[in-house]
Amino acid sequence: MKRITQICSLLVLLLSFVEGSKIPRASNDTTINDWILDFVERHMDKDANPCEEFYRYATGKFNGLDDQDDIYSIPDIVILNFNNRMRTILDQLKDKDFTEANSVEEKVWRYYKTCLMASEATRSPKHYLELVSPDANLTWPQFAHEKDKWRQEDFNWLRTLAHLRRYGMENFIIRMNVQPDAKDTNKFVVNLHTPDAEKFQEADNISDLLINIGMDSNQVSSLASKLVRLDTDLFNLAEENKESVSLDEDGFTNEFYTLAELQNRTELQLQKYLKIVFGRSFNGSFKVEVQNIKYLEGLEEILHSYDKDVVVSYLMVKFVNFIMALDGSGPDGDSEKCLDAVRFQMEHANDFLYEDHYLGAKKLEEYTAEVQRIFEAIKQSFKNRIEKNHLNLSSVDVSALKEKLLAMTLTVGILPSKANHRRFVTDFYQGLELDSEPDFAKAQLEVLKLRTLRVLEQLDGAFSKNEGFFLLYDEISNNNPVPWFEVSGNTIVLVYEMLREPVLATEGQHDVFKMSLLGYLLTRKLMENFTPYFLPYDGKGNYGEVLRSFEDYPSYKEALACLNSTQTNNLAKRVIDVVSLGIAYDAYFGEGSQFDRKQPDFTEVPLKQLFLLSIAQWFLGDAKYLDYGAADTDEVRLSQAMRNLPNFGEIFNCPTSALLNSKEMWQVW
Ligand SMILES: *[C@@H]1O[C@H](CO)[C@@H](O)[C@H](O)[C@H]1NC(C)=O
Ligand SMILES: *[C@@H]1O[C@H](CO)[C@@H](O)[C@H](O)[C@H]1NC(C)=O
Ligand SMILES: *[C@@H]1O[C@H](CO)[C@@H](O)[C@H](O)[C@H]1NC(C)=O
Ligand SMILES: *[C@@H]1O[C@H](CO)[C@@H](O)[C@H](O)[C@H]1NC(C)=O
Ligand SMILES: *[C@@H]1O[C@H](CO)[C@@H](O)[C@H](O)[C@H]1NC(C)=O
Ligand SMILES: *[C@@H]1O[C@H](CO)[C@@H](O)[C@H](O)[C@H]1NC(C)=O
Ligand SMILES: *[C@@H]1O[C@H](CO)[C@@H](O)[C@H](O)[C@H]1NC(C)=O
């Protein structure tokens, strides 16, 4: 958290220099290659021995936050470049007459402008609460006209939860999402999960917030401690029932219940809840997917054991926390945050503007073709391994693997590739009314409501599959721009942010950088799809009959045990680190490679070394861009990957005794 804040403030400081600094802009062939080379070389510590300490050799001079030149990891540069471009696009809209009524341009511009101009009062927690009520005819207790006149009898926590859900707060008390059906991805289902509970921090912090939103300061401290207790009770309920999730005969943790059955078992009026959220009625025989019914069964008892004014305040505080964590809702509207607010909350419009006002159809086509060429080479490289069948898999399993692999696609951008994008976003934002009065909370709530509505509409088949892969997620991503993998579509999504230097430049960028920067990341995502958890999903993304017990293959177990022979915090990530490097390497240097493998004239560093050094740059700064959660240190991750690359010793002329020139290679596939 601290680190992110520091980066943000440094970025702000640096913004004024950016245009003239080392960040690559022109796709001038010398410039882009020189720039990436410089990026690599200035991080290298040539005093280290690559055969012993590759991580230090490749990244040892990376000074992190201390040195302005080096605060940029590759994704930081990508975001900065992207936001700079969007700022220019949006600034140009300022002088436009929006003659076409309701154009997407006008909506984006209004949201951005509102974010920049709106006063602090319009982005305060109190103001959000004035605009969002707990129920149709009910206010929050602190807004009741007279003390003690808050009408508790009208309050029902599940109805309030439903009202808040309409703004996208999906991961609280009950996590409710609309998702593709795992066994038939042509259909969507309503899924109820246990939320990822995030416990309150300090009671003091809650007291501050309660005072801030207008509560009587004499009452807040006792209320705050009750909120913490309720929060803890719910957290414990979720924790206690984590273990009780049972597998059905298909190895699935989720079960389907009719609403009538579910209401009977849990005492939760879920029909009413869904009616408020979706704005239409649900029949008692409607089936929903439930991950953990024991958790749902325990909810009513806990929530009933607290006074209603405590429960309503609990919902209110969580809603405020949800909103305040979003970009743009902080006290001031700085342009970087406002660009992020547009980028994350109106992401489809944002991408459309980037495409329509900057990239252009021709360039997009060129980038797409280039990305597909890289992806196909990676697929081919993995296919070669599957065919060698090092794991001694059955022929049924080998064909299933190949079918899944060959059907896997790469999707460029989040808009459906075959649709007319202007028409698509115009329809998508139909109904979003942003007025010109600069009230940020009002604008943001409208944006969130529209966005959430579109996510929910997927249940009724709102988006055609014929126009190309398209899926909407509730979660408002604060993630960095890296590709992600979507099992239901058997696809990797590469966001527009990454179609930029230094990751990808259409002109002049040497293939060694394309394959190390983009190629390696795409390989990692591909390999995620081939971990045991995702293997049973077939070429169409449906959970199927085959490859369910991959983990039981003796050869697979043996391979894992080998990789596990030096301590690791996360074996699954080690598998991906190691396997992806080998596959990307073979895709570039292996037989049949169509890529340019001539030694470039801009450097004397041998091509193969350059490839590995460039990949190492992804591991700068916590490898936070590669994936999330517990992992080994970057140093361990990178050296494990390198020590298991058969050619490593030869590439760096390592003596046979060197640490990273091991005779024992561990290969999974
Ligand atoms: C490309 O960059 C080189 C070196 O910075 C410069 O000399 C050359 O003029 C540039 N070419 C173009 C077309 O911008
Ligand atoms: C709110 O009040 C109006 C008018 O008094 C009434 O018609 C409506 O049914 C009430 N709505 C709810 C949800 O109680
Ligand atoms: C909670 O309050 C303390 C003391 O005021 C403050 O230092 C801390 O940053 C707050 N934590 C959060 C998450 O707001
Ligand atoms: C509700 O539960 C009761 C007792 O557990 C049972 O008798 C009844 O059939 C159930 N009704 C439905 C609709 O499942
Ligand atoms: C629910 O829908 C089914 C079929 O769509 C219908 O037969 C049934 O009567 C409905 N039940 C209720 C309670 O409306
Ligand atoms: C491969 O598997 C088959 C049975 O599926 C077994 O008979 C054979 O010994 C295995 N070969 C190796 C090299 O493990
Ligand atoms: C990896 O090794 C650790 C002990 O070092 C062990 O606890 C763990 O179960 C092993 N994992 C696998 C998948 O073999």
> Helices 270-278 and 157-165 sit at what angle, rounded to 10 degrees?
30
pLDDT, residue 18, reads: 38
Question: CA-to-CA distance for 454 and 431, rounded, in angstroms?
Answer: 11
| Residue 28, ligand 1, Cβ within 6 A | yes
Q: Which residues contact 460 (CB under 8 A, 6 or more apart)?
A: none
Ligand 5 center from residue 282 Cα (angstroms)? 9
Q: Between residues 95 and 158, which one has the greater pLDDT?
A: 158
Which listed ligand is nearest to 259 at the C-alpha?
A: 4
User: What DSSP designation does 657 have?
Assistant: T
The yes-or-no verdict on residue 20 having pLDDT over 70 is no
Strand positions, DSSP E, 102-253 = 171-172, 174-181, 184-193
- Residues lining ligand 5, CB < 6 A? 283-285
Tell me the pLDDT band of 332, cut-offs 50, 70 and 90.
Answer: confident
- Residues lining ligand 7, CB < 6 A? 560-561, 564, 567, 571
Residue holding tokens 């004014």? 309
- Indicate the SS3 state at residue 272: helix
Question: CA-to-CA distance for 294 and 262, rounded, in angstroms?
Answer: 11
The token duo for 390 is 């090092």
pLDDT, residue 71, reads: 56
pLDDT, residue 14, reads: 35
Which listed ligand is nearest to 198 at the C-alpha?
A: 3
Give the bridge partners for 485, in sequence order.
492
- Residue nearest (by alpha carbon) to ligand 4 atom 8: 264
Question: CA-to-CA distance for 58 and 52, rounded, in angstroms?
Answer: 12
Question: CA-to-CA distance for 10 and 337, rounded, in angstroms?
Answer: 14
- Residue nearest (by alpha carbon) to ligand 3 atom 6: 205
User: How does pLDDT run across 433-452, given as a tens digit for each residue?
Assistant: 998 889 999 999 999 999 99
Tell me the pLDDT band of 146, cut-offs 50, 70 and 90.
Answer: confident
Ligand 4 center from residue 261 Cα (angstroms)? 7
Percent of the chain at pLDDT > 90 equals: 71
Q: Between residues 262 and 628, which one has the greater pLDDT?
A: 262
Question: CA-to-CA distance for 229 and 276, rounded, in angstroms?
Answer: 28
The yes-or-no verdict on residue 482 having pLDDT over 50 is yes
Of 13-22, 156-165, 182-191, 377-386, give the lowest mean pLDDT range: 13-22
CA angle 72, 77, 80 (to 5 degrees): 120
Question: CA-to-CA distance for 477 and 346, rounded, in angstroms?
Answer: 11
Which listed ligand is nearest to 208 at the C-alpha?
A: 3
pLDDT, residue 25, reads: 46
The token duo for 282 is 């649900």
The yes-or-no verdict on residue 7 having pLDDT over 50 is no
Ligand 3 center from residue 205 Cα (angstroms)? 6
pLDDT, residue 211, reads: 93
Question: CA-to-CA distance for 318 and 206, rounded, in angstroms?
Answer: 10
Ligand 3 center from residue 61 Cα (angstroms)? 35
User: How does pLDDT run across 344-396, given as a tens digit for each residue?
Assistant: 999 999 999 999 999 999 999 999 999 999 999 999 999 999 999 999 999 99
Of 40-49, 65-74, 202-211, give the lowest mean pLDDT range: 65-74
- Residue nearest (by alpha carbon) to ligand 7 atom 10: 564
pLDDT, residue 131, reads: 97
- Residue nearest (by alpha carbon) to ligand 2 atom 6: 137
User: How does pLDDT run across 590-622, given as a tens digit for each residue?
Assistant: 999 999 999 999 999 999 999 999 999 998 876
Ligand 3 center from residue 203 Cα (angstroms)? 10
pLDDT, residue 628, reads: 75
Of 291-305, 324-338, 372-386, give the lowest mean pLDDT range: 324-338
The token duo for 10 is 């440094």
Of 65-69, 131-135, 573-577, give the lowest mean pLDDT range: 65-69
| Residue 31, ligand 1, Cβ within 6 A | yes
Percent of the chain at pLDDT > 70 equals: 91
pLDDT, mean over the chain: 89
Instruction: Give burial (CB, 10 Å; 0-12/13-18/19+) of 264.
Output: exposed
- Residues lining ligand 2, CB < 6 A? 136-137
Q: What is the mean pLDDT of residues 28-46?
A: 84
Ligand 5 center from residue 273 Cα (angstroms)? 18
Stretch (H or E) spanning 290: strand 287-290
Question: CA-to-CA distance for 339 and 342, rounded, in angstroms?
Answer: 5
Ligand 1 probe mutation, 28, 509, 601, 602, most atoms within 8 A of CB: 28
Question: CA-to-CA distance for 347 and 449, rounded, in angstroms?
Answer: 14
Q: Which amino acid is at 517?
A: L
**Residue pair 468/451 in contact by the 8 Å Cβ criterion:** no
Ligand 4 center from residue 446 Cα (angstroms)? 41
The yes-or-no verdict on residue 8 having pLDDT over 70 is no
The token duo for 3 is 């680190």
User: How does pLDDT run across 65-79, given as a tens digit for each residue?
Assistant: 535 444 567 888 888
- Indicate the SS3 state at residue 36: helix
Ligand 7 center from residue 669 Cα (angstroms)? 19
Ligand 1 center from residue 145 Cα (angstroms)? 69
Ligand 2 center from residue 136 Cα (angstroms)? 7
Tell me the pLDDT band of 26, cut-offs 50, 70 and 90.
Answer: very low
How many residues comprise the chain? Answer: 669
Q: Are β-strands 409-412 and 484-486 bridged in parallel, bridged antiparallel, or unpaired?
A: unpaired
Q: Are β-strands 484-486 and 174-181 bridged in parallel, bridged antiparallel, or unpaired?
A: unpaired
| Residue 261, ligand 4, Cβ within 6 A | yes
Phi, psi of 12 (to 5 degrees): -60, -45
| Residue 264, ligand 4, Cβ within 6 A | yes
Ligand 4 center from residue 304 Cα (angstroms)? 22
pLDDT, residue 147, reads: 63
Name all contacts of 28-32 with Cβ < 8 Å and 24+ positions apart.
28/508, 29/507, 29/508, 29/509, 30/508, 30/602, 31/508, 32/501, 32/502, 32/505, 32/508, 32/509, 32/513
Question: CA-to-CA distance for 578 and 485, rounded, in angstroms?
Answer: 19
- Indicate the SS3 state at residue 447: helix
| Residue 201, ligand 3, Cβ within 6 A | yes
Tell me the pLDDT band of 294, cut-offs 50, 70 and 90.
Answer: very high
Per residue in 481-517, is it b (16+ CB within 10 Å) or e — as a string? bbbebbbbbbbbbbbbbbbbbbbbbeeebbbbbbbbb
Ligand 5 center from residue 187 Cα (angstroms)? 20
Ligand 7 probe mutation, 564, 573, 575, most atoms within 8 A of CB: 564
Spatial strand order of the sheet with 491-494 comes to 409-412, 491-494, 484-486
Per residue in 537-566, is it b (16+ CB within 10 Å) or e — as a string? bbbebbbbebbeebeebeebeebbeebeee
Ligand 4 probe mutation, 257, 262, 264, most atoms within 8 A of CB: 264
pLDDT, residue 247, reads: 55
Ligand 3 center from residue 206 Cα (angstroms)? 9
The yes-or-no verdict on residue 199 having pLDDT over 90 is no
Measure the CA dihedral 255/260/265/271, to 10°.
Answer: 90
The token duo for 210 is 């309660």
| Residue 205, ligand 3, Cβ within 6 A | yes
pLDDT, residue 15, reads: 35
pLDDT, residue 609, reads: 98
| Residue 267, ligand 4, Cβ within 6 A | no
pLDDT, residue 30, reads: 56
Which listed ligand is nearest to 321 at the C-alpha?
A: 3
The token duo for 134 is 């707990």
Question: CA-to-CA distance for 248 and 343, rounded, in angstroms?
Answer: 40
**Residue pair 281/245 in contact by the 8 Å Cβ criterion:** no
